Amino acid sequence: MNLDVLTIGELLVEFMAKKVDQDFLHPEEFVGPFPSGAPAIFIDQVVKLGLKGGILGCIGEDDFGKNIFDRLEKDGVDISLIKRTKEYITGIAFVTYFSNGERKFIFHLPHSAAGQIYPEYLSDNLIKNIKCLHIMGCSLAINENVKKTIEKAVDLSYKYKKIISFDPNIRIELGLSEEYLRVINYIASKSSIILSGEREILTITQKKDLKSAISYLQNIDTKIIVIKKGKKGAEVYYDNKTYSVKPIKVEEIDPTGAGDCFDAGFIASILEGRSIEESLVRANIIGALSVTKKGPMEGVVDKETLEKFLRY
């Protein structure tokens, strides 16, 4: 199996609060199940751009598992690394947004099928046949065996000189222990591309300002550092250069998944041989377009839509 991009992590379904400021303390209406999971959204967006992408993950033998599996298969993701288990049900997330911009999650992950990923599933041969490994930090917090699997994939990819890209994608709701910080820093030190939010880059580097965070990462040999700034656009730091892009004006319906689609847009463009600047331009468009649809994976942008947007 030859893959442009391999990712590892949670396949889940998501239920979204129908109204803003809806809490989890009272009976309210939710919309779902939507296919979701940061690595799943990421890899779906990668293949929508015409690259070969696969995900190592696990689903239960239930309709939630079928929901996410069928969607990835239909969109063209290589599903041969998706495992199934009878013992656990598919991962589930509930999310609600507040008018102050905050959001709350409830995740059913560590003891779900999403947690049933093991290092034995990885072989040298598998990693030899990829171009890029992309890791989402949220997956590291699922449980110990998922974390060990990801560490093994990172070590093998490093050994075989593959591109390693990393989005720390911290979900405070999933816990931020010292061990979590250690493994995030370990993966950052092996990555040549880091894509992060403004706030989370300070958390992972334990620095007070962006400048110190960037120079810390450059010192541990990260070649390309991309900072995602939500409705303020994005910027990239590499060599001694900085390049930033203004946000595309869109009507934001649902920001979930924007960062994952953005990551996919950037990585896919780099793998297509585009410059860092052009890759940022493309990722910024994809991130913006992705927020115009409700549902975490519903905003993925296909190649034609992107090319059409670039022509205008």
Sheet arrangement for strand 163-167: 82-85, 53-60, 3-8, 130-136, 163-167, 193-197, 224-228, 234-238, 241-245
CA distance 42 to 291: 14
* Cα torsion angle, 114, 206, 134, 257, sign: positive
Select 60 or 296, whichever has its Cβ closest to Mg ion: 296
Within 258-287, which residues bind Mg ion (CB under 5 A)? 259
Select 229 or 293, whichever has its Cβ closest to ligand ATP: 229
CA distance 82 to 25: 34
**Interacting stretch for ligand ATP, rule CB under 6 A, among 80-88, 112-120, 224-232, 268-276?**
224-232
Select 126 or 253, whichever has its Cβ closest to ligand ATP: 253
The burial class, CB within 10 Å (0-12 / 13-18 / 19+), for 230 is middle
CA distance 94 to 28: 12
**Interacting stretch for Mg ion, rule CB under 5 A, among 27-35, 45-53, 125-133, 253-261?**
253-261
Within 160-189, which residues bind ligand ATP (CB under 6 A)? 169
Q: Which amino acid is at 87?
A: E
Q: Which two tokens stand for residue 66?
A: 């079928």
CA distance 300 to 272: 18
Contact call for residue 169 and Mg ion (CB under 5 A): yes
**Minimum separation from the CB atom of position 76 to ligand ATP (A):** 23
**Minimum separation from the CB atom of position 182 to Mg ion (A):** 20
Beta-bridge mates of residue 261: none
Select 28 or 252, whichever has its Cβ closest to ligand ATP: 252
**Minimum separation from the CB atom of position 168 to ligand ATP (A):** 9
Q: Which two tokens stand for residue 89?
A: 């049900």
Within 264-303, which residues bind ligand ATP (CB under 6 A)? 284, 287-288, 291
Contact call for residue 258 and ligand ATP (CB under 6 A): yes
Which residues contribute to the site for ligand ATP (CB under 6 A)?
169, 197, 228-231, 233-234, 247-248, 250, 252, 255, 258-259, 262, 284, 287-288, 291
Which residues contribute to the site for Mg ion (CB under 5 A)?
169, 259
